[in-house]
């Protein structure tokens, strides 16, 4: 019975949303391309929260296609949105970049925004968030709270964005605890809860008492809850999946940027730029801090959040030293965005090696 | 290597191997009767969502496992109707079943993506669990792990010690001679196929209710295909299915441990992941070289339709 | 009691009617599904089956999506007719795509048609090479080709994953797992400027025609057909079983490899891990829905492609989840595969014979 009730509720909601989108054809429409199903937490879920915020705050209508493979199918989906006159199309995964660029050249009246990536066009901008800022703060918490001095990280693929997160995490930890070391396990998948959990449990059995992940499910947080260690969520607030274990999470917030983009497009002031926002633009936040974090540390973290917002704190401030002991950034300097984008190494304190 | 690490590697290997054993043993029975069902991935997905949903609503993981079993059996029945009664092609129908199951499970599962299940506790066997190194991995596991061993024992007994098992093998070897001595070939194949589906459903429910425990679209992540490979790797022998499942699981687990340990071993992980498949091909070659070994192991009529001319 | 009775000979009427029956069943299934979801079924069918092809671009996309399916299915059908079960086309497609990409990346500065010609050859050879493994093992060691070709799919997927994360990764691509973009000389010419439809579609039609001639007008095709029906008869007649295994697997491999080439040199323009959208497996279903007939393959490929496109439309315009197109596909295919029984059997309601 309860099963059908949930179903009916959900269906009614879907029908309602449908009716709303269908009813107001006059409003501007905005298209979203998602790489995975929306789900309840994770990368696409956060983008969908942004989409809902956009609808609520600006009155535009939106439509999305989820689970779009990062291959030729993406171009058709993006083009369909442009062709029917969507004001803006947000393509939210790296593999859409070349397809988005191609479509953008044919549909000059539509603004395209691609999330992550490095190619821009006359009417195609880029947006990404400085996820590593949140990672640095969670690293500080991990460094202060670890008893074993071993931290664990479950990661998907060694692209720069993931390496930035790993390196910021260990740098944050080492800034307060020079004894801390980080172990990384690559699962070669954004999405395999079974394997993610297994990797988390492996790290825990190897002594890690603070774990985090850069994959798309909640499995790592759940594993930490079961095994009695602490975890940091990613993408979304995952405290529901581990009320005791979940200390906080680096969460993504795209809504404000989406709203701003639409307003600019409607005002005719939009120009394709590459935005790499972090704390100052409120694109990165920490989820509510768990009470298990000592009050003094909580205050310190809040203070650091302030510093990040006003750019007084840079997670990759020199000296930045890599795993082999070579100095990447000398003391007194900050790592440049160019360097960040090409990151393909571990910093000191990481005891694993990067696969091929 | 320190003993506790070895113990946790063993523990993880057994957990990772368990769903593979359950699914592969079910497939083994179906294949022994001559039916090749490539839809394991879809049946597992249906078992996973059914198991998760029912566990969530009833609070009982056991009802969840039963639901998973029923969902898998239902999917297999559909397949059986198409390939056994309607004589559709087994390979194509199996692939279609996979697509259907993965899609349908995602569709049904939408409302459950935000739900959480409590972890099902382990059952500790007193005294035995205290044995160093192997105690924890063997005797402090979730119930379904023990049940996978019971399933193994039952299937060995059934295939090699019981009369119905003999009949099942006869049907897979030569349906026409089995028919001519009076065995109901189609009915036996139905039962074997449905059993295979039921076990795939249990394997799926193990993933969503015991292992992770959560439901997300695509969470089976290729394990159904691995189970199919495993049956071949095992040359249709239950004991080798067990060994193979732990090997497949072990390769993954050891790879994770090596990474986490920070030993400077730098083999591309794709290579390690490809090993089980290459090993399966080599095993196939070895068993196929000699016609007699083939006859001893592989069901001769595998994948071929049969219709008794009444 | 419902019973199936064998017809004295295959029904011509049913061989045309059975796909229609299957489509009818699927429409009924779809009707129930839409009704259950509280959607207007007519609207649903319109979005699913009409909207995707309501303009030229839509039709061109349909052809584009169907191209690899046609290529692979016709190649596989040659083998399937002789009971050679190559189900590893997915892997053969990937290896063909890798080989073609290697050529494109090697000739980066080169101009001229030879780049494309070499890519076609490399793609075909790559696919054949991958299919030659099960063929060799089958003829030499009697190894089951269904299982070997399936295992090699996984190996191919891991191979391309390794290559785009390693040796073939774009050095200026910020470590993202993909190759460089190909130069124009390594891209298949478009058939019309405002679409993505390219020369590969023409090749696919040619392949269907060639497949038809081979299957129904050539002696080798006849031999393979006979072998498929009655292996022993073929053996007595002196047909070489080994030769048929080689022809069966290599034709599938070559076409799948070429399909891989047509993806990387067509809509992708580079090599990534997503070189196949499951075309290798979908084509097996296409081949059987088409009853291994090239004319049928043409229509079955279009239908399959339409189901993909319709699924995207249903998401955008009816807020249905992406999984709906899988459900639809699975349903239709099961019906199609099941309804073929009516060609050789009739349903009767007579009492079971005592």
Asked whether the predicted pLDDT for residue A231 surpasses 80, the reply is yes
Q: How many CB atoms lie within 10 A of CB A234?
A: 28
CB contact under 8 A, B103 and C325: yes
d(CA B262, CA B267): 13
| Own/partner long-range contacts of A106-109 (Cβ < 8 Å, ≥24 apart) | A106/A79, A106/A82, A107/A79, A107/A82, A107/A83, A109/A85
Beta-bridge mates of residue A322: A347
Residues 6+ apart with CB under 8 A from C285: B92, B95, B96, C304, C333
Q: What is the 3-state secondary structure (H, E, C) of chain C?
A: CCEEEECCCCCHHHHHHHHHHHHHHHHHHHHHHHHHCCCCHHHHHHHHHHHHHCCHHHHHHHHHHHHHHHHHHHHHHHHHHCCCCCCCHHHHHHHHHHHHHHHHHHCCCCCCCHHHHHHHHHHHHHHHHHHHHHHHHHHHHCCCHHHHHHHHHHHHHHHHHHHHHCCCCCCCCCCCCECCCCCHHHCCCECCCCCCCEHHHHHHHHHHHHHHHHHHHCHHHHHHHHHHHCHHHHHHCCCCHHHHHHHHHHHHHHHHHHHHHHHHHHHHCCCECCCCCCHHHHHHHHHHHCCCCHHHHHHHHHHHHHHHHHHHHHHHHHCCCCHHHHHHHHHHHHHHHHHCHHHHEEEECCCCCC
CB contact under 8 A, C146 and B88: no
d(CA A47, CA A41): 10
What residue has token string 């073609």?
Answer: C100
DSSP classification of residue B12? H
Question: Which residue of A lies nearest to C268 if distances are taken between CA atoms?
Answer: A72
- Chain C neighbors of A65, CB-CB under 8 A: 312, 315-316, 322
Q: In 3D, which of A257, A265, A262 has the Cα closest to residue A61?
A: A262
Asked whether the predicted pLDDT for residue B9 surpasses 60, the reply is yes
Phi, psi of A63 (to 5 degrees): -145, 155
The reported pLDDT for the residue numbered B309 is 60
CB contact under 8 A, A37 and B217: yes
C-alpha distance from B76 to closest chain A C-alpha (Å): 24
C10 burial via Cβ count (<10 Å: 0-12, 13-18, 19+): exposed
- Chain A neighbors of C327, CB-CB under 8 A: none
Task: Assess B309–C contact: CB distance below 8 Å, yes or no.
Answer: yes
Q: Quick one: tokens of A319?
A: 């000296």
Contact C107, C172 (CB under 8 A): no
A75 burial via Cβ count (<10 Å: 0-12, 13-18, 19+): buried
What residue has token string 């070997």?
Answer: C148
The reported pLDDT for the residue numbered C237 is 65
Question: Which residue of A lies nearest to C263 if distances are taken between CA atoms?
Answer: A72
d(CA A289, CA C116): 58
- Chain C neighbors of B99, CB-CB under 8 A: 326, 329-330, 333
Which residue in the set C165, C329, C341 is minimally distant from B99, CB to CB? C329
C-alpha distance from A266 to closest chain B C-alpha (Å): 34
3-state secondary structure of A235: strand
d(CA B106, CA B124): 35
More confident position, C174 or A122: A122
DSSP classification of residue A121? B
Which residue in the set C165, C323, C338 is minimally distant from B107, CB to CB? C323
C-alpha distance from B238 to closest chain C C-alpha (Å): 18
Q: What percent of chain C has pLDDT over 70?
A: 94
C-alpha distance from A235 to closest chain B C-alpha (Å): 15
Which residue in the set B87, B228, B273 is minimally distant from C158, CB to CB? B273
Tell which C residues from 18 to 77 touch A, by Cβ distance under 8 Å: 37-39, 57, 61, 64
**Rounded mean pLDDT of chain C?**
87
**Helical axes B269-288 vs C114-141, angle rounded to 10°:** 40
pLDDT in tens, B170-209: 998 888 888 888 899 999 999 999 999 999 999 999 999 9
Radius of gyration of chain A (CA): 21
Length of chain B: 310
CB contact under 8 A, C57 and A188: no
**Helical axes C294-318 vs C199-217, angle rounded to 10°:** 140
Phi, psi of A111 (to 5 degrees): -90, 130
Sheet holding A111-115, edge to edge: A61-65, A29-33, A88-91, A111-115, A124-129, A274-277
DSSP per-residue codes, A139-185: HHHHHHH-SSSEEEEEES---HHHHHHHHHHHHHHHHH-TT-EEEEE
The reported pLDDT for the residue numbered B295 is 62
Residues 6+ apart with CB under 8 A from A331: A318, A319
Beta-bridge mates of residue A182: A151, A350
d(CA C103, CA A187): 31
d(CA C157, CA B270): 9
- Chain C neighbors of A67, CB-CB under 8 A: 322-323
- Chain A neighbors of B212, CB-CB under 8 A: 193-194, 197, 219, 222
Of A13-17, C50-54, C158-162, least confident by mean pLDDT is: A13-17
Say what the ipTM of the complex is: 0.86
Q: What percent of chain A has pLDDT over 90?
A: 76
DSSP per-residue codes, B109-167: HGGGTT---PPPPPEEPTTGGGSTTTHHHHHEE-HHHHHHHHHHHHHHHHHHHSHHHHH
The reported pLDDT for the residue numbered C319 is 80
pLDDT in tens, A244-278: 999 999 999 999 999 999 999 999 999 999 999 99
CB contact under 8 A, A157 and C38: no
Residues 6+ apart with CB under 8 A from C307: C48, C325, C328, C329, C332
Question: Which residue of A lies nearest to B119 if distances are taken between CA atoms?
Answer: A226
Tell which C residues from 313 to 352 touch B, by Cβ distance under 8 Å: 321-331, 333-334, 337-341
Task: Assess C119–A contact: CB distance below 8 Å, yes or no.
Answer: no
Asked whether the predicted pLDDT for residue C130 surpasses 90, the reply is yes
pLDDT, average across residues B237-265: 83
Domain limits, chain C: 61-302
Asked whether the predicted pLDDT for residue B4 surpasses 90, the reply is no
CB contact under 8 A, A195 and B223: no
CB contact under 8 A, A203 and B260: yes
DSSP classification of residue B309? -
CB contact under 8 A, B107 and C284: no
3-state secondary structure of A125: strand
Question: Which residue of B lies nearest to C159 if distances are taken between CA atoms?
Answer: B270
The reported pLDDT for the residue numbered C233 is 65
pLDDT in tens, C11-29: 777 777 877 888 788 788 8
CB contact under 8 A, A72 and C270: no
The confidence band for C235, taking pLDDT boundaries of 50, 70 and 90, is: low
> What residues of chain A have any CB closer than 8 angstroms to a CB in chain C?
11-12, 14-15, 17-18, 21, 31, 37, 63-73, 75-77, 79-81, 83, 94-95, 98, 117-118, 157-160, 188, 341-342, 344, 356
Task: Assess A215–B contact: CB distance below 8 Å, yes or no.
Answer: no
Report residue B32 CA to chain centroid gap: 14
Residues 6+ apart with CB under 8 A from C290: C73, C77, C296, C297, C298, C299, C300, C301
CATH architecture of the domain with residue range B3-297: Orthogonal Bundle (1.10)
- Chain A neighbors of B208, CB-CB under 8 A: none
Asked whether the predicted pLDDT for residue B40 surpasses 80, the reply is yes
CB contact under 8 A, A10 and B4: no
Q: In 3D, which of B160, B157, B121 has the Cα closest to residue B142?
A: B121
More confident position, C322 or C98: C98
Instruction: Please indicate, yes or no, whether the overall pTM of this predicted structure exceeds 0.80.
Output: yes
d(CA C325, CA C312): 8
Length of chain C: 354
pLDDT in tens, A174-211: 999 999 999 999 888 888 888 899 999 999 988 999 99
Q: How many CB atoms lie within 10 A of CB C315?
A: 24
Asked whether the predicted pLDDT for residue A18 surpasses 90, the reply is no
Domain annotation for chain A: domains and CATH numbers? 2-129 (3.40.50.2300), 132-251+285-341 (3.40.50.2300)
Report residue A161 CA to chain centroid gap: 9
- The sign one gets for the Cα dihedral A154, A160, A161, A167 is positive
Which residue in the set A18, A73, A117 is minimally distant from C319, CB to CB? A18
Task: Assess B176–C contact: CB distance below 8 Å, yes or no.
Answer: no
DSSP classification of residue A287? P
Identify the residue among A13, A67, A107, A155 best suited for mutation to test binding to C, counting C beta carbons within 10 A and taking the highest: A67
The reported pLDDT for the residue numbered B111 is 83
**Helical axes A72-83 vs A97-106, angle rounded to 10°:** 30
d(CA C190, CA C196): 6
C-alpha distance from A205 to closest chain B C-alpha (Å): 7
Highest average pLDDT, of B17-31, B246-260, C75-89, comes from B17-31
3-state secondary structure of B288: helix
Q: How many CB atoms lie within 10 A of CB C319?
A: 18
**Rounded mean pLDDT of chain A?**
89
CB contact under 8 A, C312 and A15: no
pLDDT, average across residues A29-41: 90
User: How many contacts, defined by CB atoms under 8 Å, are there between A and C?
Assistant: 93
Contact B51, B65 (CB under 8 A): yes
Question: Which residue of C lies nearest to B36 if distances are taken between CA atoms?
Answer: C146
d(CA B239, CA B246): 11
Distances (CA, A) of C104 to A284, C107, C117: 41, 5, 11
Question: Which residue of C lies nearest to A99 if distances are taken between CA atoms?
Answer: C268
CB contact under 8 A, A157 and C269: no
The reported pLDDT for the residue numbered A23 is 39
Question: Which residue of C lies nearest to A340 if distances are taken between CA atoms?
Answer: C174
Q: Are strands A61-65 and A88-91 parallel, antiparallel or unpaired?
A: unpaired
CB contact under 8 A, B278 and C337: no
B305 burial via Cβ count (<10 Å: 0-12, 13-18, 19+): middle
Distances (CA, A) of C228 to B300, C75, C223: 17, 16, 9
The reported pLDDT for the residue numbered B232 is 81
Highest average pLDDT, of A65-74, B299-308, C80-89, C126-135, comes from C126-135
Q: Are strands C345-348 and C3-6 parallel, antiparallel or unpaired?
A: antiparallel
pLDDT in tens, C266-319: 999 999 998 988 899 889 889 988 888 999 999 999 999 998 899 888 888 888
Task: Assess A333–B contact: CB distance below 8 Å, yes or no.
Answer: no
Which residue in the set A9, A37, A355 is minimally distant from B266, CB to CB? A355
Q: Are strands A124-129 and A88-91 parallel, antiparallel or unpaired?
A: unpaired
Q: What is the 3-state secondary structure (H, E, C) of B191-209?
A: HHHHHHHHHHHHHHHHHHH
C-alpha distance from C319 to closest chain A C-alpha (Å): 7
The confidence band for A3, taking pLDDT boundaries of 50, 70 and 90, is: very low
Which residue in the set B87, B284, B289 is minimally distant from C341, CB to CB? B87
């Amino acid at each position: 019975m309860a099963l059908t009730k949930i179903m009916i509720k959900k269906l009614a909601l879907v029908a309602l949303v449908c009716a709303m989108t269908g009813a107001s054809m006059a409003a501007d429409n905005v298209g979203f391309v998602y790489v995975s199903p929306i789900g309840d937490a994770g990368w696409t879920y956060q983008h969908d929260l942004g989409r809902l915020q956009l609808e609520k705050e600006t009155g535009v209508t939106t439509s999305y296609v989820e689970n779009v493979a990062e291959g030729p199918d993406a171009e058709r989906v993006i083009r369909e949105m442009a062709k029917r006159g969507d004001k803006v199309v947000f393509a939210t995964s790296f593999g859409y970049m070349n397809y988005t660029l191609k479509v953008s050249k044919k549909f000059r009246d539509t603004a395209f925004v691609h999330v992550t990536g490095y190619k821009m066009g006359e009417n195609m901008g880029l947006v990404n968030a400085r996820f590593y800022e949140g990672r640095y703060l969670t690293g500080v918490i991990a460094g202060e709270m670890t008893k074993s001095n071993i931290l664990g990280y479950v990661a998907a693929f060694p692209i720069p964005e993931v390496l930035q997160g790993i390196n910021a995490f260990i740098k944050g930890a080492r800034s307060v605890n020079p004894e801390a070391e980080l172990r990384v396990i690559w699962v070669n998948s954004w999405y395999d809860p079974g394997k993610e959990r297994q990797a988390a449990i492996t790290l825990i059995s190897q002594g890690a008492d603070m774990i985090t992940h850069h994959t798309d499910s909640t499995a790592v947080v759940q594993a930490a809850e079961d095994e009695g260690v602490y975890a940091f969520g990613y993408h979304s607030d995952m405290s529901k999946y581990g009320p005791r274990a979940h200390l906080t999470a680096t969460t993504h917030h795209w809504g404000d940027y989406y709203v701003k983009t639409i307003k600019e497009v409607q005002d005719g002031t939009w120009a394709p730029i590459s935005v790499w926002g972090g704390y100052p633009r409120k694109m990165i936040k920490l989820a509510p801090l768990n009470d298990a974090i000592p009050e003094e540390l909580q205050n310190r973290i809040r203070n650091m959040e302030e510093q990040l917002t006003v750019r007084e704190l840079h997670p990759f401030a020199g000296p930045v030293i890599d795993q082999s002991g070579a100095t990447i950034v000398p003391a007194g300097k900050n790592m440049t965005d160019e360097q960040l984008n090409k990151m393909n190494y571990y910093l000191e304190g990481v005891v694993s090696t990067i696969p091929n | 290597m320190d003993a506790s690490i070895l113990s946790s590697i063993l523990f993880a290997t057994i957990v990772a191997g368990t769903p593979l054993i359950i699914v592969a043993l079910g497939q083994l029975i179906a294949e022994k009767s001559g039916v090749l069902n490539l839809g394991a991935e879809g049946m597992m997905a249906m078992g996973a969502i059914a198991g998760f949903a029912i566990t969530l609503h009833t609070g009982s993981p056991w009802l969840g496992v039963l639901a998973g079993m029923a969902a898998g059996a239902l999917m297999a029945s559909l397949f059986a109707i198409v390939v056994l009664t309607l004589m559709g092609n087994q390979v194509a129908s199996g692939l279609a079943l996979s697509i259907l199951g993965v899609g349908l499970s995602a569709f049904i599962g939408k409302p459950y993506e935000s739900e959480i299940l409590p972890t099902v506790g382990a059952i500790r066997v007193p005294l035995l669990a205290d044995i160093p190194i192997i105690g924890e991995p063997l005797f402090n596991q979730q119930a379904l792990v023990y049940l996978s061993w019971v399933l193994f024992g039952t299937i060995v007994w059934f295939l090699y010690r019981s009369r119905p098992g003999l009949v099942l093998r006869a049907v897979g070897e030569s349906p026409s001679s089995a028919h001519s001595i009076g065995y109901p070939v189609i009915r036996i194949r139905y039962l074997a196929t449905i059993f295979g589906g039921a076990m795939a459903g249990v394997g799926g429910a193990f993933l969503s209710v015991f292992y992770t425990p959560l439901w997300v679209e695509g969470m089976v992540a290729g394990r159904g295909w691995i189970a199919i490979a495993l049956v071949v790797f095992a040359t249709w022998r239950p004991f080798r299915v067990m060994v193979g499942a732990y090997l497949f699981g072990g390769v993954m687990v050891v790879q994770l441990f090596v990474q986490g340990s920070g030993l400077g071993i730098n083999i591309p992980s794709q290579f390690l992941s490809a090993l089980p498949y290459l090993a399966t091909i080599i095993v196939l070659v070895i068993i196929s070289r000699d016609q007699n070994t083939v006859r001893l192991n592989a069901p001769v009529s595998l994948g071929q339709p049969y219709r008794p001319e009444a | 009691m419902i019973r199936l009775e064998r017809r004295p000979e295959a029904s011509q009427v049913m061989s045309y009617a059975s796909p229609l029956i299957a489509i009818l069943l699927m429409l009924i299934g779809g009707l129930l599904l839409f009704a259950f979801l509280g959607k207007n079924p007519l609207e649903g069918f319109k979005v699913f089956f009409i909207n995707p092809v309501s303009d030229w671009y839509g039709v061109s996309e349909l052809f584009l999506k169907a191209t690899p399916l046609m290529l692979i299915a016709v190649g596989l059908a040659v083998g399937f007719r002789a009971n050679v079960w190559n189900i590893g086309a997915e892997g053969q497609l990937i290896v063909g795509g890798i080989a073609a990409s290697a050529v494109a990346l090697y000739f980066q500065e080169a101009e001229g048609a030879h780049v494309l010609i070499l890519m076609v050859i490399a793609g075909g050879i790559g696919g054949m090479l991958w299919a030659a493994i099960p063929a060799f093992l089958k003829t030499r060691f009697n190894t089951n080709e269904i299982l070997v070709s399936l295992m090699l799919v996984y190996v191919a997927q891991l191979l391309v994953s390794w290559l785009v994360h390693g040796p073939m990764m774009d050095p200026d691509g910020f470590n993202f797992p993909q190759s460089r973009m190909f130069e124009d000389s390594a891209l298949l010419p478009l058939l019309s400027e405002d679409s993505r439809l390219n020369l590969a579609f023409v090749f696919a039609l040619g392949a269907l025609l060639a497949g038809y001639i081979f299957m129904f007008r050539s002696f080798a095709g006849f031999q393979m057909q006979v072998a498929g029906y009655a292996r022993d008869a073929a053996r007595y007649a002196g047909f070489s079983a080994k030769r048929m295994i080689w022809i069966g697997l290599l034709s599938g491999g070559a076409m799948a490899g070429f399909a891989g080439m047509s993806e990387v040199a067509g809509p992708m323009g580079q090599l990534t891990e997503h070189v196949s959208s499951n075309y290798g497996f979908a084509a097996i279903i296409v081949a059987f829905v088409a009853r291994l007939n090239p004319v049928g393959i043409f229509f079955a490929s279009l239908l399959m492609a339409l189901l993909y496109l319709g699924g995207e439309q249903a998401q955008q315009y009816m807020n249905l989840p992406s999984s709906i197109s899988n459900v639809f596909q699975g349903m239709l295919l099961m019906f199609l595969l099941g309804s073929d029984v009516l060609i050789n059997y009739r349903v009767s309601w007579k009492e079971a014979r005592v």
